């Protein structure tokens, strides 16, 4: 076995099968070894910074800054950028300029710019402003649904039916979110069967994809696996996405476990914008830069150019007068 260290020789003589895939002058574990299941070859990143990120930032950002931010993101190779939310400005003042933002951004094919539409009124306004894809936001927790969207899960489903009916007529694809997929700030742990039930209803209504969100970030990899196992009994994995929060530092590990289970759509927010509204001063969304860094290291294609992504992150952090939450940006970014 030549120059291999003794420890590797021991493993090989014990019959342990180590598969190495040579790429260039260094070896990577590739996609197959006898320890972890195959990972997807490609992962679609859904960038939620301009909506979910900004929505949870205290500093209000002017319209032209939001527009420039989204335009910078369009140049990174991202194919889905959630642009804004057509929700009442009374609830979310940060996104009061939803119409101007939607009309002001440069639409770069093949990028999609979905927007949140909580009800029919919001949907109409979104279509009038030029939206070509929308998203609806449900919850697996009754308390969270009531406190966050002012209605029960059942009532929210009725609103979604109206939106989906109108969307179908207008040939507009609809993405569904299920928040509190692991834990709820009010109810605690959420049963995976409840998550599956809500997700299934939204999927059967006509959502093309369901994003499962660990809203409080409390999930650890075992919780993520268990929840996905149950949900995947109801919904094909190709129609699922994960939306992990990094409030407890578990996001990348949770994303990795989801990849191992065959999920290949990941929501993240550039610079990790959007703190956790349920725990002051803590982080929320996982940083797109950190996710892309991990996926690239794993040999998984995303189409995203990390350096351009970091520029977009740097731009918005300056505008928000805050430091980035991305570890990769902290380590690498040099203006």
Residues that bind other proteins (CB under 8 A): 4-5, 7-8, 11, 16, 20, 26-29, 183-185, 187-189, 216-223, 225, 246-250, 253, 276, 278-283, 327, 330-332
What's the CA gap between 16 and 108, in Å, rounded? Answer: 50
**Smallest distance, other proteins to C-beta of residue 49, A:** 19
Verify whether residue 184 is a known catalytic residue: no
| Nearest residue to 112 (alpha-carbon basis) of 44, 162, 166, 203 | 44
- Token pair for 272: 């990790």
Q: How many CA atoms lie within 13 A of 200 on its CB side?
A: 13
Q: Which of 180, 244, 268, 276 is catalytic?
A: 276
Which residue lies nearer to other proteins by CB, 94 or 216? Answer: 216
Q: Strand pairing of 21-23 and 26-28?
A: antiparallel
Rg of the chain on CA atoms, in Å? 21
Determine contact, residues 239/203, Cβ cutoff 8 Å.
yes
**Smallest distance, other proteins to C-beta of residue 248, A:** 5
Q: How many CA atoms lie within 13 A of 38 on its CB side?
A: 4
Neighbours of 1 (CB within 10 A): 9
Which residue lies nearer to other proteins by CB, 99 or 260? Answer: 260
- Token pair for 271: 């610079």
- Token pair for 68: 């420039």
> Catalytic residue positions?
276
């Amino acid at each position: 076995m030549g120059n291999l260290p003794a420890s590797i020789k021991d493993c090989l003589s014990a019959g342990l099968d180590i598969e190495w895939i040579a790429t260039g002058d260094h070896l990577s574990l590739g996609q197959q070894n006898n320890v972890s299941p195959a990972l997807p070859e490609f992962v679609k990143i859904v960038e939620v910074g301009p909506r979910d990120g900004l929505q949870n930032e205290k500093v209000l950002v002017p319209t032209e800054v939001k527009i420039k931010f989204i335009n910078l993101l369009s140049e990174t190779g991202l194919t889905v950028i959630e642009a804004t939310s057509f929700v009442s400005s009374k609830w979310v003042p940060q996104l009061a300029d939803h119409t101007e933002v939607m009309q002001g951004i440069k639409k770069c094919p093949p990028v999609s710019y979905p927007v949140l539409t909580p009800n029919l009124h919001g949907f109409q306004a979104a279509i009038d402003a030029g939206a070509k894809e929308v998203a609806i936001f449900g919850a697996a927790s009754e308390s969270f649904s009531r406190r966050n969207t002012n209605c029960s899960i059942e009532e929210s489903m009725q609103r979604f039916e109206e939106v989906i009916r109108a969307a179908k007529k207008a040939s507009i694809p609809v993405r569904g979110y299920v928040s509190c997929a692991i834990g709820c700030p009010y109810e605690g742990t959420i049963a995976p069967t409840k998550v599956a039930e809500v997700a299934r209803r939204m999927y059967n209504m006509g959502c093309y994809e369901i994003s499962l969100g660990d809203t409080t970030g409390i999930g650890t990899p075992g919780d993520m696996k268990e929840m996905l196992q149950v949900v995947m009994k109801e919904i094909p994995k190709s129609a699922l996405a994960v939306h992990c929060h990094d409030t407890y530092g578990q996001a990348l590990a949770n994303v990795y476990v989801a990849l191992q289970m065959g999920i290949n759509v990941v929501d993240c927010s550039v610079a990790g914008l959007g703190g956790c509204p349920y725990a002051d001063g803590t982080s929320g969304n996982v940083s797109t830069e950190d996710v892309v860094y991990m996926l690239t290291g794993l040999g998984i294609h995303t189409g995203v150019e990390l350096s351009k992504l970091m520029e977009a992150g740097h731009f918005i952090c300056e505008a928000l007068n805050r430091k980035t939450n991305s570890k990769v940006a902290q380590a690498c970014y040099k203006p």
